[in-house]
Structure 1
Amino acid sequence: MASNRATKSGFAAEAQRKINSKYSEDLAQECLEWIKVITGEPIDVSGDEENFYTILKDGALLCRLVNKMQPGSVKKINEGHLAFKLMENINAFLESAKKMGVPPQELFQTVDLWEKQNLHAVVICIQSLGRKARNFNQPAIGPKESEKNVRNFSEEQLRAGQGVISLQYGSNKGANQSGINFGNTRHM
């Protein structure tokens, strides 16, 4: 867990402070409220960093969340205190989230949650899953995702566009390179 790590110093500490500064209690609270609505479990929805970490660190609630959205997503939710079993829960959640449509760049690493390295990434992943909830007939959070709008043009329409010279292309009338001087001239 986070308590097993050595204290960071120098560039590592600076980088960790920057990562920690991105965490938003309001967004975390919104995610926890959404999880509470989907799962129906009585959890504390305070967006406080410690509360967010405590509720989600074992991955069991996250597994129950994806199982409510898409039954059977996570076959076995591990209980107990063995670290590798609890980290398996987090990994099972991430695999299910990927299958449900969360883009890879919005997923987090297991250690981001387990060792409290980057809770902001966890919030981003949950929000991304929340946007996908509409696809599974569940209440969603965040903006509605855009839908595909394919447009097909005929060859005639495409050729008609090539014959138009627009003023948006600009003009080079009067443009020349006279008077351009880079740097200072050499004085003799």
Structure 2
Amino acid sequence: MAGLRAPKAGSARDTQMRIDSSFDPVEARKCLEWIREMTGENFNTDVGPEKYKVVENFWRVLRDGILLCKVLNVAVPDHIKCNFNSPTFRPTGNPQFQSARERERIELFNRKLEEFGVSPDNCFLVDCLYERTNLWQVAASIRALGTEYESRPSFTGMRWWPRKSEVNPRVFSQEVLNAGNTIINLQYGTNKGATAAGLNFGKKRMIMKE
């Protein structure tokens, strides 16, 4: 667990500090508010303007994977939804089993994200959340889920996230395509009008009699 790991040092510490600095408290609060709106669950989303408090709250609310799977079930079709009756979601008094099941839920969330159509680049590793190594990527995954959900034709509610980019193909006639062959693209360069006239490199050789 995160509290049992030795603190990072050297270049690893510098890298972690750069990752932590990219965390956006405003975006994280928006993610939690969207999850609360979607699931109807009651949890705290506003802990003040201090960044460290926002980070701590974001991590603690999402760390066990329950809310992630709940918001996923609201957004995705029935054949992708998580089965909350499976052993993964059953409580246990064994700390080792509990930790393993929390990790399984986070992994399940990311696997279902890809099935829903979210790019693997927008998913995150389990340790990004569970060990809080990259909470910025967790927020990015939640945003990607919301964007994908709101891009479906069946969506009619209020938009929270930017619109998903759409394909806009261009179709040119063969006549237009052939017209491009008559133009020399200056990116390739041209020797039209090239001449050596006027070139003068260096000083002329001076030969003098003694």
TM-score, scaled relative to structure 1: 0.84
Residue 160 and residue 50 in structure 1: after superposition, are their counterparts in 2 closer, same or farther (change >3 A)? same
Shift of 1:8: 0.9
1:186 aligns with none
Does the 8 A contact of 1:35 with 1:65 survive in 2?
yes
Alpha-carbon distance in structure 2 between the residues aligned to 1:102 and 1:178 = 62
Q: Separation in 2 of the partners of 1:89 and 1:9?
A: 30
Structure 2 residue aligned with 1:13: 13
Identity across the alignment (%): 34
Task: Give, as a single letter, the amino acid of the residue that structure 2 aligns with 1:33.
Answer: E
Corresponding residue for 2:135?
Answer: 119
Matched-pair contact (CA < 8 Å) for 1:130–1:142: yes
CA distance in 2, matches of 1:40, 1:3: 31
Matched, 1:157 2:142: no
Indicate how the Cα distance of structure 1 residues 8 and 175 shifts in structure 2: closer, same or farther if over 3 A, else same. Answer: farther
Instruction: Name the CA distance, whole Å, in 2 between partners of 1:141 and 1:175.
Output: 62
Shift of 1:113: 0.4
Q: Which runs of 5+ in 2 are unaligned?
A: 48-53, 203-210
Distance 1:71 1:100, change over 3 A: closer
In the alignment, which residue of structure 1 is the partner of 2:206?
none
**Cα pair 1:60 1:79 within 8 Å, conserved:** no
Distance 1:157 1:128, change over 3 A: same
CA distance in 1, matches of 2:72, 2:137: 18
Q: What residue is the counterpart of 2:67 in the other structure?
A: 61
Q: Is the 8 A contact 2:123 2:138 kept in 1?
A: yes
Q: Please report how far the alpha carbon of residue 118 of structure 1 lies from its aligned counterpart in structure 2 after TM superposition.
A: 0.8
Q: Which residue of 2 aligns with 1:184?
A: none
Distance 2:179 2:68 in 1: 54
Letter in 2 for 1:74: C
Matched-pair contact (CA < 8 Å) for 1:67–1:74 = yes
Cα RMSD (Å): 2.6
Shift in CA distance, 9/168, structure 1 to aligned 2, threshold 3 Å:
closer
Is the contact between residue 79 and residue 86 of structure 1 (CA under 8 Å) also seen in structure 2? no
Superposition deviation, residue 6 in structure 1? 1.0
With over 3 angstroms needed to count, the CA separation of the structure-2 counterparts of 1:97 and 1:175, relative to structure 1, is farther
8 A contact 2:76–2:149 mirrored in 1: no
1:121-176: CA deviation from partner (whole Å, max 9, x where unpaired) = 10111111111121162544332112111222222221122223577887666797
State the 4+ residue runs in structure 1 displaced beyond 3 angstroms. Answer: 164-180
| 1:79 Cα deviation after fit | 3.9
Measure, in 2, the Cα distance between the counterparts of 1:157 and 1:71: 44
Of 170-179 and 1-10, deviating more is 170-179
Aligned amino acid, residue 123 of structure 1: A
| Shift in alpha-carbon separation, 1:174–1:159, aligned structure 2, 3 A | closer
Residue in 2 aligned with 1:183? none
Q: Which runs of 5+ in 1 are unaligned?
A: 181-188
- 1:104 matched to 2:120? The reply is yes
TM-score w.r.t. the length of structure 2 is 0.75
Over 3 Å counting, the alpha-carbon distance change for 1:162 and 1:54 in structure 2 is same
